[in-house]
């Protein structure tokens, strides 16, 4: 389970989340309910006093999320890095059509649309059937993902 998926799922249950020093803390009405280690797998903690006050359905849902996230290997918790591919001569960005035929074209914009994507993972770049080593790679920043 990815970190962003875990956070969204916990918030969807109505709980507050705080990230601090390698942990994600889950609070219920300003009480610490649980925390999960972001840097080590298979580590989470639940406060029994707060836990016993929850309805069974909430206990089950929250415990399932905590267990699934804690069981996820560290390297699988974050989204893979992505890159823009830019022609060093024309300064145009590689775009891939997403709706019909997955064809490629060059465009002046690196912004994705409904019809075209411009961000590619390392595995996707390596799988392209054309050479890419001459292209300039610009890493996509976290706020652009």
**Per-residue pLDDT tens digits for 76-93:** 898 888 999 999 999 999
Report pTM: 0.63
Checking if the pLDDT of 142 tops 80, the result is no
* Residue 94 three-state SS: strand
**Per-residue pLDDT tens digits for 127-136:** 999 999 999 9
Q: How far is CA 67 from CA 7, 46, 77, in A?
A: 13, 11, 13
pLDDT at 101: 80
Checking if the pLDDT of 29 tops 80, the result is no
Closest by CA to 35, choosing from 47, 45, 50, is 45
Contact between 105 and 95 (Cβ < 8 Å): yes
pLDDT at 15: 87
């Amino acid at each position: 389970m990815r970190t962003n998926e875990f956070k969204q799922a916990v918030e969807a249950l109505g709980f507050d989340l705080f990230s601090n020093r390698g942990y994600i803390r889950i609070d219920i009405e300003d009480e610490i309910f649980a925390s999960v280690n972001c840097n080590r797998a298979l580590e989470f903690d639940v406060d029994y006093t707060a836990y016993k006050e929850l309805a069974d359905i909430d206990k089950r849902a929250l415990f399932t999320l905590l267990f699934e996230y804690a069981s996820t290997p560290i390297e699988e918790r974050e989204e893979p890095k992505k890159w823009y591919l830019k022609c060093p001569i024309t300064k145009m960005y590689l775009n891939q059509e997403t709706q019909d035929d997955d064809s490629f074209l060059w465009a002046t914009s690196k912004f994705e649309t409904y019809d075209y994507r411009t961000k590619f993972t390392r595995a996707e770049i390596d799988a392209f059937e054309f050479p890419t080593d001459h292209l300039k790679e610009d890493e996509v920043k976290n706020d652009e993902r």
